[in-house]
């Protein structure tokens, strides 16, 4: 807990002198997500954990700063606990410079692999990040060059430390900093209401010294027109945690429809196929209620998840539910 207090003090201390300058734009933000979960009869755990359980997915606060072409961001998560503040509690700590439609930034932030993953946690269509989350490279410390609105095209190029926050890389891979690296590239194209993107990333020696690199490929699409919102995403992870042949591919199809200004119906289907021969599906059916002044403030999400495939013997890496579940989340943000 002391580490969290220190993290907040650092954020406040850095922001105070920034707010003192009239030329600097500073914006504070934060959000809290309170959750409830109820599983069906789950006989794989002892004791069984089928009862109603309450918790929190994210409890975050941070600020963004802009001074001409200079920008920065700091975000901390009080729902995390650990001995390494930079790895667990500090989610983003970045400083950058923008020149026209291009920018460069350095620090700790999300790597550019995964469309849904690179959507803010407070803007998700369903209560949880889904099965594709396990395969992205997550966050890493490094440098990234980006460009947007280049005749409809955009790009990101990242180079940095091993992505030890990503599930596909072992947690203690930080001892390879300086000896192994993460690289990732993403290309995007926007045309009217449609968005396309493809990305590729590699975290070297993902299981430790001398092991295989973890490679991930992502292809994604989304379309929005009036009340309709459609998304599709495919992600393929190769050599999970440095183990050659431990591969898995996951895709989802998503549809959302705004019934009115405050109510949205959603459906999302996940399917994962592991090289070990098993598969798992999760189908989310739900509704989002927007009770605040916008879609992220005062949002209530309700989902029912139907699990399918090899529920009893799934040996993949994608997480997901091997049991039907009822999920609820209430979010307040500013």
Backbone angles phi, psi at 131, to 5 degrees: -70, -25
Q: How many CB atoms lie within 10 A of CB 54?
A: 9
Q: Could you tell me what percent of the chain has a pLDDT over 70?
A: 89
Q: Could you tell me what percent of the chain has a pLDDT over 90?
A: 77
| Residue 3 predicted with pLDDT over 70 | no
Q: Identify the burial level of 310 via C-beta atoms within 10 angstroms of its C-beta, where 0-12 means exposed, 13-18 middle and 19 or more buried.
A: middle
Q: pLDDT tens for residues 157-181?
A: 999 999 988 899 998 776 888 899 9
Mean per-residue pLDDT over the chain, rounded:
90
| Residue 4 predicted with pLDDT over 90 | no
| Residue 189 predicted with pLDDT over 60 | yes
Q: pLDDT tens for residues 27-54?
A: 999 999 999 999 886 656 667 677 889 9
Give the residue extent of every domain in the chain. Answer: 97-333
Q: What CATH number belongs to 97-333?
A: 2.40.160.10
Backbone angles phi, psi at 121, to 5 degrees: -60, -20
Q: pLDDT tens for residues 298-330?
A: 999 999 999 999 988 898 998 899 999 999 999
- Which pLDDT score is estimated for 284? 98
| Residue 21 predicted with pLDDT over 60 | no
Asked if residue 265 lies in contact with residue 303, where contact means CB atoms within 8 angstroms, the answer is: no
CA distance readout (Å), 316 to 41, 113, 206, 269, 274: 21, 20, 17, 17, 5
pLDDT band at 85 (very low <50, low <70, confident <90, very high): low
SS3 295: coil
End-to-end CA distance of the chain: 24
CA distance readout (Å), 104 to 69, 72, 80, 226: 11, 11, 29, 34
| Residue 92 predicted with pLDDT over 60 | yes
Q: What's the predicted TM-score (pTM) here?
A: 0.88
């Amino acid at each position: 807990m002391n580490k969290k207090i220190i993290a907040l003090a650092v954020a406040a201390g850095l922001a105070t002198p920034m707010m003192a300058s009239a030329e600097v734009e500073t914006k504070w933000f934060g959000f809290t997500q309170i959750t409830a979960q109820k599983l069906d009869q789950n006989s794989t755990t002892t004791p069984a954990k089928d009862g109603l359980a309450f918790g929190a997915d994210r409890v975050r606060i941070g600020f963004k700063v802009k001074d001409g072409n200079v920008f920065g961001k700091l975000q901390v998560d009080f729902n995390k606990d650990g001995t390494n503040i930079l790895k667990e509690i500090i989610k983003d700590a970045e400083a950058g410079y923008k020149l026209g439609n291009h920018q460069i930034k350095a620090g700790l932030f999300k790597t550019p692999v995964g469309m849904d993953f690179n959507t803010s946690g407070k803007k998700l269509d369903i209560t949880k990040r889904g099965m594709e989350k396990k395969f992205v490279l997550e966050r890493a410390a490094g440098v990234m060059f980006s460009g947007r609105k280049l005749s409809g095209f955009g790009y990101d190029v990242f180079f940095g430390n091993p992505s030890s926050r990503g599930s596909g890389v072992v947690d203690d891979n930080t001892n390879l900093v300086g000896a192994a690296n993460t690289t990732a590239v993403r290309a995007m194209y926007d045309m009217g209401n449609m968005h396309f993107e493809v990305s590729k990333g590699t975290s070297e020696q993902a299981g430790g010294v001398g092991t295989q690199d973890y490679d991930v490929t992502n292809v994604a699409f989304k379309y929005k027109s009036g009340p309709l919102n459609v998304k599709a995403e495919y992600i393929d992870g190769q050599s999970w945690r440095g183990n050659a042949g431990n591969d898995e591919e996951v895709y989802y199809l998503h549809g959302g429809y705004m019934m009115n200004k405050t109510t949205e119906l959603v459906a999302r289907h996940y399917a994962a196929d592991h090289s070990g021969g098993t598969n798992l599906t999760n189908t989310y059916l739900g509704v989002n209620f927007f009770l605040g002044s916008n879609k992220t403030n005062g949002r209530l999400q309700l989902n029912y998840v139907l699990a399918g495939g090899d529920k009893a013997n799934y040996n993949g890496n994608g997480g997901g539910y091997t049991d039907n579940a009822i999920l609820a989340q209430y979010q307040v943000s500013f």
